[in-house]
Amino acid sequence: GENVEQHPSTLSVQEGDSAVIKCTYSDSASNYFPWYKQELGKGPQLIIDIRSNVGEKKDQRIAVTLNKTAKHFSLHITETQPEDSAVYFCAASAGGGADGLTFGKGTHLIIQP
């Protein structure tokens, strides 16, 4: 089955700086890669996703890159703000997202004022 590795487990950055979270996956059939943000006591919420036919996608301060050859994808957050503090999860799916997601272990992002 699919295995998703996520690094780092904790990331502390100064407000206004950029944050990068990296994930690797094992199943070459995976074709859908969402990123979720989870705040304390809440369910995960999708912030951006990318499909295997695209190398990069951007939405305001958030961007995701995908390297299918290396089976590697990354989340980039620019101009970080205090409200970006949360746990971020990467995930992968071989069914375009219609099947279950395999999640990484999560990154606790801390924005220092």
Partner 1 sequence: DAGVIQSPRHEVTEMGQEVTLRCKPISGHDYLFWYRQTMMRGLELLIYFNNNVPIDDSGMPEDRFSAKMPNASFSTLKIQPSEPRDSAVYFCASSLGFLAAYNEQFFGPGTRLTVL
Q: Which stretch binds partner 1 (CB under 8 A): 10-18, 57-65, 76-84, 97-105?
A: 97-105
Task: Provide, rounded to whole angstroms, the least separation between the CB of residue 29 and partner 1.
Answer: 15
Q: Which of 44, 66, 77, 84 binds partner 1 (CB under 8 A)?
A: 44
Q: Which of 18, 45, 67, 81 binds partner 1 (CB under 8 A)?
A: 45
As given in the structure block, the two tokens for residue 7 are: 């690094």
Q: Provide the binding-site residues for partner 1, judged by CB under 8 A.
A: 32, 34, 36, 41-46, 49, 89, 95-106
